[in-house]
Amino acid sequence: MNKRVDIQDLGLMDYKVCWDYQEALFKSTVDAKIRNRREDAGEETPNHFLFVEHPHVYTLGKSGDMSNLLLNEKQLTSKGATFYKINRGGDITYHGPGQIVGYPILDLDNFFTDIHKYLRLLEEMIILTLAEYGLKAERSPGETGVWLDVGTPFARKICAMGVRASRWVTMHGFALNVNANLGYFDNIIPCGIRGKAVTSLNVELRKETVDEDEVKEKLLKHFAELFEAELKIKTTQL
């Protein structure tokens, strides 16, 4: 089993360009697994973890409800935002500047074949990272992602999640609000959940900005521990 994970920070990248890149990595891994099964090739399958920041964009998952987008095409344009229907689970979410988006493209055969465990460990990675900033983050029963003040009238979501998996290969991932413009969430019913607020790390810490590179370092530290992974930082060349 190959537990090495190649880490790439793609910087600011258009959502569709990044989606295509994810799909290429995903397909390459799935194709290798198919060759191994058909030809007993013994080919080692790679694992990737992409960090990225997107320009303003709304994405709707396979089971999402279009009515949860509260803008028409003209209003989207006026806000400098784009919209895509995509092939992950979950409903509608927002990505934009000030948000750390992570896309692990892992062959879970290299780790464990349990998609629920995979989601719980991604949540745990976020929870442990936020704990380093003095925040008690939690899971909310029946709702993916990571929340603060669960079970109270002040419950608010700080990290959204939505993944796709095929042949135990994952793609898509999580979006952690660090220095996010929360006004963009007013244009959707986030994840299709009414009456729940959204927050950002800088808001919770009462800071103008939080060092995003520092947050990424903490995320990777906890990811490596939870997945027992060996991380390899790659220089991005697209």
Question: Which positions are catalytic?
Answer: 191
The dihedrals phi and psi of 151, each to the nearest 5 degrees, come to 80, 10
Between CA 163 and CA 61 the distance in angstroms is: 9
Amino acid at 74: K
Residue 117 gets which letter from DSSP? Answer: H
What are the angstrom distances between the C-alpha of 48 and each of 83, 132, 150?
Answer: 25, 25, 32
